[in-house]
Structure 1
Amino acid sequence: MAHDRPVFITDRNRYLMKLLIIGIDGATFDLIHPWVDAGYLPNLARLMSNGVYGNLASTLPPVTSPAWPTFMTGCNPGKHGVFDFIQPSGADFNLVNATKIRQPTLWQRLSAAGYRVGVLNVPVTYPPQPINGFMITGILSPKGGQICYPADLIGRYKSNLGEYRVAPNIQYKPGNEAEYIDDIYGLIKAHGNWGLHLMKSEEWDVLMMHFIALDIMMHALWRFMDHSHERYEPTPFEFAIRDGYKLVDEYIGRMLAQLADDASVIVMSDHGFGPLRKMVNLNVFLLEKGLLKLNRKPFTQLKARAFRHGMTPAGFYRVLERIGMQNLAA
Structure 2
Amino acid sequence: MSLPTIAVTMGDAAGVGPEIVVRALSSPELGGLARCVVIGDAGRLTRAAELCGVDARIKPVADPAEATGQPDVIEVLDLDVVPGDLPFGQLSEAAGEGAYQYVAKAAELAMAGRVQAICTAPLNKAALHAAGHRYPGHTELLAELCGVPEVSMMLSTGQVRVIHVTTHVGLLDAVERIEPGLVERTVRRGHRTLVDSGVAAPRIAVCGINPHAGENGLFGRGEEEDKIEPALAECRADGIDAQGPLPADTVFFRAGRGDFDLVVAMYHDQGHGPVKILGLEAGVNITVGLPVIRTSVDHGTAFDIAGTGAADAGSMLEALRQAATLATRP
Q: Would you say same fold, with TM above 0.5?
A: no
TM-score interval, normalised by the smaller of the two chains: 0.3 to 0.5
Q: Please, what TM-score do these two structures have when normalized by structure 2?
A: 0.35
TM-score if structure 1 supplies the norm length? Answer: 0.35
Tell which structure's C-alpha radius of gyration is larger. 1
Q: Relative to total residues, which structure has the larger strand share, 1 or 2?
A: 2
